[in-house]
Structures are given as structure tokens and as C-alpha cells.
């Protein structure tokens, strides 16, 4: 492959940089109130961007440590200018607290970057209301008067796709039909290796039957059973089975589930290492499955991080800590 074939995933070059508390502000703007914590033009630009592209990367920032050391603080009688400065500093104290509250709830740290769909899904899952985050009953900490307007809650009730682009059922069905036809007539399949394990989990030694709702792995299995020697080229990232998924973004060819399912990139590389192949390698279908079943006895080795331990939301495990019994059944029976 040429260098131009490789893409930057956007996570190391964020398209949008905002203070962590301003993620909440975008929802309040979406709910119809003019949040004073984020200028209108910035809010409109962010909302327009995520409404058209769920893969856009957002970095949440906070000057959490931009504070004076106590030794530099000296009591004084404040002048008018110092009083204004003190007011601005108080406002910034509010905002730093808001930043850190949001980051703590989301399980993130300053400057962490995630895709739009991931962030708004996480936000609505973990922050029910801005009351107690942007405003308090404590004298001197009253904060934003709009925090109790209900604007945020109204948008949250509709879900992440009230803010971020999501595919229509009609579009996904059209892509399914196109993908199924392409797989049925293909002389070669392009599949990411851990998806062959997903296929095995679903097949469960013969229990799985009929098309799957969010991919075309069933169609891949039918094609492979028809021709066990059909070449499979193993690839990284979205493959022939992904086009009809609600998490597939056709314009970019990327997966937008959970940060682009970053853990799935590791699954692919772990499978490559286990079976001794590299991205772009091509083998007959029967040989690829034989290698997987011979060298990977359990999904725990790949989809359970090798330990069955979840270290973060991005690294959640699939198939259970002790492995998916469906995979083990298919490993015994095979699919041919």
C-alpha cells in the first residue's frame, strides 16, 4: 500500500476543542436556551458539524491546574480594577469546577479526545441534568440561571441522535441489499479477522440462522460455505460486512460506535498475531478458519483482553469474561 492509502483517524488531531463544561452547553443551546457559557456562533458551528458527521473528533479541555500557588496570594484592599478581576476569577473558578465535574462523570481527563457520537452517548448516559453542575443553592455559587430550565433534559430524553448524525432505516436497508449482492458475487472477500470470530459466536455450532440485524456476516458465511476455497483478504477497519451497520458512516468509511470501537482495532491485531498473518494477507477461507480455530481456543484470548478484566469503557469485553460458548461450539463443529 502507498502512504496515501493510510488515513488519520482524527483522534490525534481533534476537529473541535472546547472546555469540558461546554459540551453540556451545546445541548442547552440545542434545547432552545442561550447558554451564557458558550457563544452562539461557536455552539451553532459545533451542532452543525456533529449533525452531519458522527466521526468528528472533540477534545475536552480544562485549565485544571492554572491556579496560583498560595505563596503568591497576599491580602489587600481591592481597587475597582481588582474587584473586576476578582469577579472574572470567580467566574473561572465556577467553570473549572464545571469542567472537572463533567470530566469526572464521563470518566475522562483534560484534553481527552473522543468522537461526537461517543461523547454525546456517554454524556446522556451519565449526566441527567445540569442542575448541581452549572448551578447550586449555595449562596455565592448560584451559577447559571438556565440550568433549571429543562432545556438540557428535553434533548437528553430524545437521545444522542437528537444531536449527532444517525443513519435512516431506509439507507441502511439499501446498503444491506447492495452489500449482500456484492458478497454473493465476489471472487474475493475482504474481512477484518475478528469479524470471523463474531461470525463463529453467532453461528454457535449450527444454532445461528438467518441474516443478522446490523451486519452481513450471515451472507459472508453463506458465500464461504458455497465456496470454502474463496480467497479472504484480511483487513483492518471496516470491511465488507459493515456497510449496513448503524455505526458505519458511509461518507468516511469509519465506525462510530464507542470511539470508533478502538478496542476492535486491537482485536484485529491480536488475531493477526495469533494466526501469524499480516493485514492484507490472503488465504482460502477454509485455511483462515482453520488457523483461527487451531490457535484461538476462546474469545477470552481476543475479545476478553486475555484477562477477562475491563480496564475502561473503551476496553469493555465481549462474549463474557470466560469466553463466548457460541464460539467454542463452532470451533468444535466448524462452519463447513
Three cell numbers, residue 277: 498473518
Query: What pLDDT shows up at residue 167?
Result: 96
The answer to whether the CB of 165 falls within 8 A of the CB of 51 is yes
Three cell numbers, residue 252: 468516511
pLDDT digit string, tens, across residues 139-152: 988 889 999 999 99
pLDDT digit string, tens, across residues 18-52: 999 999 999 999 999 999 999 999 999 999 999 99
Strands in the chain per DSSP E: 16-19, 57-61, 112-115, 189-191, 231-234, 248-249, 254-255, 282-284
Question: Whose CA is closest to 304, among 277, 334, 328, 333?
Answer: 328
Query: What pLDDT shows up at residue 3?
Result: 56
Query: What pLDDT shows up at residue 102?
Result: 98
> Could you say which residues of the chain have pLDDT below 70?
1-9, 69, 73-88
SS3 131: strand
Q: Are strands 231-234 and 189-191 parallel, antiparallel or unpaired?
A: parallel
The answer to whether the CB of 192 falls within 8 A of the CB of 271 is no
Three cell numbers, residue 137: 443553592
Query: What pLDDT shows up at residue 268?
Result: 97
Query: What pLDDT shows up at residue 83?
Result: 45
> What is the value of pTM for the model shown?
0.89
Amino acid at each position: 500500500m502507498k502512504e496515501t492509502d493510510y488515513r488519520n483517524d482524527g483522534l490525534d488531531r481533534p476537529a473541535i476543542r472546547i472546555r469540558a463544561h461546554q459540551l453540556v452547553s451545546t445541548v442547552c443551546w440545542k434545547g432552545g436556551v442561550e447558554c451564557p457559557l458558550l457563544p452562539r456562533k461557536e455552539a451553532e458551528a459545533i451542532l452543525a458539524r456533529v449533525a452531519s458527521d458522527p466521526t468528528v473528533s472533540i477534545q475536552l479541555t480544562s485549565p485544571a491546574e492554572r491556579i496560583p500557588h498560595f505563596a503568591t496570594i497576599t491580602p489587600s484592599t481591592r481597587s475597582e480594577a481588582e474587584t473586576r478581576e476578582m469577579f472574572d476569577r470567580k467566574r473561572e473558578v465556577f467553570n473549572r469546577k464545571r469542567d472537572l465535574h463533567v470530566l469526572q462523570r464521563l470518566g475522562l481527563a483534560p484534553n481527552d479526545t473522543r468522537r461526537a457520537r461517543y461523547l454525546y452517548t456517554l454524556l446522556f448516559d451519565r449526566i441527567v441534568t445540569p442542575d448541581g453542575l452549572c448551578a447550586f443553592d449555595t449562596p455565592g455559587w448560584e451559577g447559571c440561571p438556565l440550568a433549571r430550565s429543562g432545556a438540557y433534559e428535553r434533548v437528553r430524553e430524545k437521545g444522542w441522535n437528537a444531536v449527532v448524525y444517525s443513519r435512516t432505516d431506509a439507507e441502511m436497508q439499501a446498503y444491506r441489499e447492495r452489500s449482500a449482492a456484492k458478497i454473493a458475487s465476489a471472487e474475493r472477500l475482504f474481512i477484518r479477522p475478528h469479524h470471523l470470530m463474531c461470525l463463529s459466536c453467532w453461528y454457535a455450532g449450527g444454532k445461528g440462522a438467518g441474516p443478522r440485524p446490523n451486519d452481513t456476516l450471515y451472507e459472508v458465511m453463506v458465500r464461504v460455505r458455497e465456496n470454502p476455497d474463496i480467497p479472504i483478504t484480511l483487513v483492518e477497519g471496516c470491511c465488507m460486512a459493515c456497510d449496513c451497520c448503524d455505526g458505519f458512516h458511509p461518507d468516511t468509511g469509519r465506525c462510530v460506535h464507542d470511539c470508533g470501537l478502538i478496542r476492535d482495532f486491537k482485536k484485529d491485531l491480536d488475531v493477526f498475531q495469533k494466526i501469524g498473518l499480516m493485514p492484507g494477507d490472503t488465504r482460502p477461507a477454509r485455511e483462515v478458519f482453520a488457523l483461527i480455530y487451531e490457535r484461538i481456543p476462546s474469545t477470552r484470548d481476543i475479545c476478553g483482553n486475555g484477562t477477562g478484566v475491563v480496564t475502561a469503557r473503551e476496553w469493555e469485553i465481549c462474549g463474557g469474561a470466560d469466553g463466548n460458548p457460541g464460539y467454542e461450539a463452532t470451533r468444535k463443529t466448524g462452519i463447513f
